Amino acid sequence: MTSEERRAFGARVAGLREARGLTQKQLAAEIGRTASWLSQVERGIQPVNRLDVLRLLADGLGVSVQELRADAPAQGPAEGPAVELSNDLDQARLVISGHAVPEVLLDAAEPSPASLEEIQRAVDRVWELTHANEFAELSALLGPLVPRIERAARTAPPSERGTAWGLLSRTYQALSSAFVRQGEADAAWVAADRAIRAAEQSGNTLDVFASVFRLSQAFVRLKHLDQAEHSATTALNALERHYTQTAVAPEALSVMGALHLALALIHARAGDRPRAREEMERAREVAGRLGEDRNDFNLEFGPTNVEIQTVSIAVELGDAGEAIEVGTELDTSALSLERRARLNMDLGRAYAQRRQVGEALGSLLAAEELSPDLVHTHVAARDTIRELLLLAGRTAPPELKELADRADARP
């Protein structure tokens, strides 16, 4: 978008908002943004180039995406970066739009030719791509894969159906996680809900609770903190009541610890420092009982991930010094690229809170090297880049300006 196009777009947003009788504060609350962000959009300062954000804004205004921005469907190399209206998970979003295999409902006796071994390898690949934030390839893989597993879960021999339902749950969990990272919280909610149902059909109880963890993440992204707290708390309470009477398997500890981390984030987002700290201590205690870094249910829970979350929670609470002290001492080499990149991104946010532009830029570039998509699409990363540009002003280093261009994060 040029500055003239941004002003015209902002004027259109303001006109549609006023036609609905909404204040900036009311519309911002409805779409989960700040009034300051919306004000910048309407004044032509803040561009809206991502399709998911444009869709969110259009829904809040009660109009179609095309009515809000006529060139929304267009996307081609000749148009350049001004029309960046695409989302790497668009194909995956279509997969969850309606029933995946409606023909099975009409002919359930049709035998499934699926090989569960092949599907297992494909699901493993789904999680590799999710952890690496390779969303375009992930979306392309899921297009044909989800209907295939949905069909297998319903038509495979009875002895194999539980396994097929479990693979389907883990696929939807990956999809929910990816949607959260891309800011598509509504789609993440749908995917998590389907993961819960598939897990229950599989007979693997802990997969149900891992899916609830994904659901709580979707609620956090939606800023529905009460729903996020309710889903995580009820699941955690049930687990803890059950495992006071039975031996605690490592897999159960992983799920319990992940839910404590989810609650810590929820309380931090709500500004409840004591409860956020309390949940972090509980997660640390569970990690101590676990005694090692594991990846049960692709949760990556363990002592190292607890400390990574400590950094993230400290940043959320504005405790930049603690975040830097903890984060710079961590060895994350055994964790996924996503976890390692997330730590560097959070360190960049912490340094920005302390107005240390050089250190913040170095951390963000390190995160980008590990996972470009995370830095280019994550709301917090983009906000931090804009903040650094404002802090540096005319003395902003070329590397920072180039990073802002790659992430479309110019003020």
Model pLDDT for residues 289-334, shown as the tens digit of each residue? 999 999 999 999 999 999 999 999 999 999 999 999 999 999 998 8
Coarse DSSP helix, strand, coil percentages of the chain, rounded to the nearest 5 percent: 75, 0, 25
pLDDT value of residue 34: 72
Summarised one tens digit per residue, pLDDT across range 33-44 is 777 778 888 988
- pLDDT of residue 272 exceeding 60, the answer is yes
Distance (Å) of CA 347 to CA 173, 315, 340, 393, 398: 27, 8, 11, 21, 21
- Report whether 407 contacts 375 (CB < 8 A): yes
Which residues does 169 contact at the CB level (< 8 Å), separation at least 6?
195, 196, 198, 199, 202, 204, 207, 211
Most distant pair of Cα atoms in the chain: their distance = 69
pLDDT value of residue 111: 56
Mean pLDDT of the chain: 88
Distance CA 140, CA 301 (A): 28
Which residues does 143 contact at the CB level (< 8 Å), separation at least 6?
91, 92, 94, 95
- Report whether 312 contacts 332 (CB < 8 A): no
Which residues does 171 contact at the CB level (< 8 Å), separation at least 6?
123, 126, 142, 145, 146, 149, 195
- pLDDT of residue 247 exceeding 80, the answer is no
Number of Cβ within a 10 Å radius of residue 169: 29
Distance CA 27, CA 29 (A): 5
Q: How many residues does the chain have?
A: 411
Please give the average per-residue pLDDT across 257-268, as a whole number: 97
- pLDDT of residue 80 exceeding 50, the answer is no
pLDDT value of residue 1: 57
343-347: Cβ within 8 A, 24+ apart: 343/308, 343/311, 343/367, 344/370, 345/374, 345/375, 345/378, 345/380, 345/381, 345/384, 346/308, 346/311, 346/312, 346/315, 347/311, 347/323
Distance CA 303, CA 330 (A): 11
Q: CA torsion sign, 68 to 177 to 173 to 136?
A: positive
Distance CA 259, CA 209 (A): 9
The pTM for the full model equals 0.76
Token pair in block for residue 26: 């009311």
Percent of the chain with pLDDT over 90: 60
Q: Which residue has the tokens 């209206």?
A: 85
- Categorize the per-residue pLDDT at 82 as very low, low, confident or very high, splitting at 50, 70 and 90: very low
- Please choose, from the candidates 183, 182, 177, 201, the residue with its C-alpha nearest in 3D space to the C-alpha of residue 127: 177
Please give the average per-residue pLDDT across 176-186, as a whole number: 89
Considering only residues 25 and 104, tell me which one the structure prediction assigns the higher pLDDT: 25
- Report whether 243 contacts 252 (CB < 8 A): yes
- Categorize the per-residue pLDDT at 83 as very low, low, confident or very high, splitting at 50, 70 and 90: very low
Distance CA 358, CA 304 (A): 26
Please give the average per-residue pLDDT across 374-379, as a whole number: 84
**Structural domains of the chain sorted by starting position, each given as residue range(s) with its CATH number in brackets:** 1-86 (1.10.260.40), 316-411 (1.25.40)
Distance CA 75, CA 54 (A): 14
Please give the average per-residue pLDDT across 205-213, as a whole number: 97
The backbone region for 223, taken as left when phi is positive above 0, alpha when psi lies in -120 to 50, beta otherwise, is left
* Burial grade of 243 (CB within 10 A; 0-12, 13-18, 19 or more): middle
Please give the average per-residue pLDDT across 3-13, as a whole number: 86
Q: Residue type at 135?
A: F
- Please choose, from the candidates 263, 266, 265, the residue with its C-alpha nearest in 3D space to the C-alpha of residue 255: 263
Which residues does 258 contact at the CB level (< 8 Å), separation at least 6?
210, 213, 297, 299, 301
Summarised one tens digit per residue, pLDDT across range 84-138 is 444 567 778 888 888 877 877 776 555 555 689 999 999 999 999 998 888 888 9
